[in-house]
Amino acid sequence: MGFSALVASALCTFLLPLLLFLAAVRLWDLYCASGRDPSCPLPLPPGTMGLPFFGETLQMVLQRRKFLQMKRRKYGFIYKTHLFGRPTVRVMGAENVRHILLGEHRLVSVQWPASVRTILGSGCLSNLHNGQHKHRKKVIMRAFSRDALQHYVPVIQEEVSACLAQWLGAGPCLLVYPEVKRLMFRIAMRILLGFQPRQAGPDSEQQLVEAFEEMIRNLFSLPIDVPFSGLYRGLRARNIIHAKIEENIRAKMARKEPESGYKDALQLLMEHTQGNGEQLNMQELKESATELLFGGHETTASAATSLIAFLGLHHDVLQKVRKELQVKGLLSGPNQEKQLDMEVLEQLKYTGCVIKETLRLSPPVPGGFRIALKTLELNGYQIPKGWNVIYSICDTHDVADLFTDKDEFNPDRFMSPSPEDSSRFSFIPFGGGLRSCVGKEFAKVLLKIFTVELARSCDWQLLNGPPTMKTGPIVYPVDNLPAKFIGFNGQI
């Protein structure tokens, strides 16, 4: 082969792909720049858009917290990026987030990434809009009224007590996070959907737990449905869950009256469609039930695990919780096994502050997705119509001027006056506005009962010390939080 042929071969092998890549990058930059709305004089937020098509999705998924911290340090409280196939602006800080959350249906509308919409389905509450969303939320909220919550308290207490008794006999090492997930899954199955997991058998329960974990791992994936892709695996797991839920729905339809004495959220949804003369849409019911289970156990499992971590690291706070329980007659003596109720739970102010501080430092859901309905102005920048907007919960907590010594675990900061009353968008673990979490009161009651039962029955040691937390998409400890549990001797 002659010299000229070698040169031509080298050009084809190395130079041409390089030129094509550079051309693709340049076209990508032009595409990203063309997204700016010329009718608005304000500039786009600072930031980078990453690689063609992929944007910065891979960096965000792989590095998560490190990636987001780097972006915040470099660009501040508003910056542009390209995630999950869409140009995106990420927003944090109380005032910026307030503007987004109070602009629902007027400035922005909920729009999760395509993979989330595909897996969870168009019939779930998170993906409904305007009147449909308002109507469905009103029905579901009946399952979280104060009267309904009162019915749930003994069920939650029974499940938590039984679980903690098993932990005390688990030996020198128990992996807290998977155990808490199983506990919260059983509670959500019983209360939200009327399932009786123990009657179905441990194998059936474990199959559902594993399917949920697989589905959640792949919620935020590139929107490519091919074998072995994240979206493909997520859909396959979702179908297993839907099959189990459909069995339960058909059993409910045949039974008519609930066995538990109260009506769960799924029962209320079914009655609503039948009462209005609507045709029972099985697919929408399955999607709504799946969403309730997801929201009802993944987020509470994350928060409960963080509670165990913080109380394990701050024994003085645990002792103050126990002191409050002692004052209310809940710690020792004949009232130790006293049944809790809503009135008693509402009196546990310090315990509630411990939960708030846990949610401030480690909110289970890191943020939410919206889409700009029109070009909007925010803090000196434009967000073009059609761009995605991510509001950050964790970063908003981190940067809130309202909190002093932000990295310190200090529940007393919530005692009086309550910070969220002074600036409610500085503390948003349940979101805010029209899209605030439908089950937030249920979550608060569940976490308070869990804290009470934990404090009055267990002492524990974190075997690896302070955990490293990861987001995927819910916040969880990388090491699953190994701990050793022993019985509490009743001495403060």
14, 149: one domain: no
Q: Would you state the structure tokens that stand for residue 274, as one six-digit string? A: 């039948």
pLDDT single digits (tens) 114-128: 888 898 888 788 878
50, 28 in Cβ contact below 8 A? no
- Residue 190 domain flag: yes
Tracing tokens 């009743």 back to the chain, one arrives at 490
Give me the number of domains the chain comprises. 2
427, 471: one domain: yes
- Residue 87 domain flag: yes
- Residue 492 domain flag: no
182, 297: one domain: yes
146, 28: one domain: no
What is the C-alpha to C-alpha distance for residues 472 and 463, in angstroms, rounded to an integer? 23
16, 106: one domain: no
73, 124: one domain: yes
2, 47: one domain: no
What is the C-alpha to C-alpha distance for residues 427 and 397, in angstroms, rounded to an integer? 6
82, 1: one domain: no
Residue closest to 91 by CA, chosen among 302, 392, 356: 392
What radius of gyration do the chain's Cα atoms show? 25
pLDDT single digits (tens) 131-164: 788 888 888 888 888 988 998 999 999 999 999 9
Residue closest to 84 by CA, chosen among 437, 389, 377: 389
What is the C-alpha to C-alpha distance for residues 467 and 480, in angstroms, rounded to an integer? 8
156, 121: one domain: yes
6, 95: one domain: no
Packing angle between helix 265-275 and helix 130-141, nearest 10 degrees? 120
CATH number for the domain that contains residue 115: 1.10.630.10
Whole-model pTM: value is 0.86
Give ∠ CA 81-386-384 in degrees, rounded to 5.
70
Residues spanned by the domain of 161: 35-487
Residue closest to 194 by CA, chosen among 306, 133, 285, 100: 285
**Predicted pLDDT of residue 467:** 95
Q: What is the mean pLDDT of each run of 10 residues along the chain (492 residues)?
A: 59 59 54 75 93 80 81 94 90 94 91 86 80 82 88 93 93 94 91 72 76 87 83 92 87 69 76 64 85 86 97 97 93 64 95 97 92 94 95 93 91 75 80 88 96 96 94 89 92 78
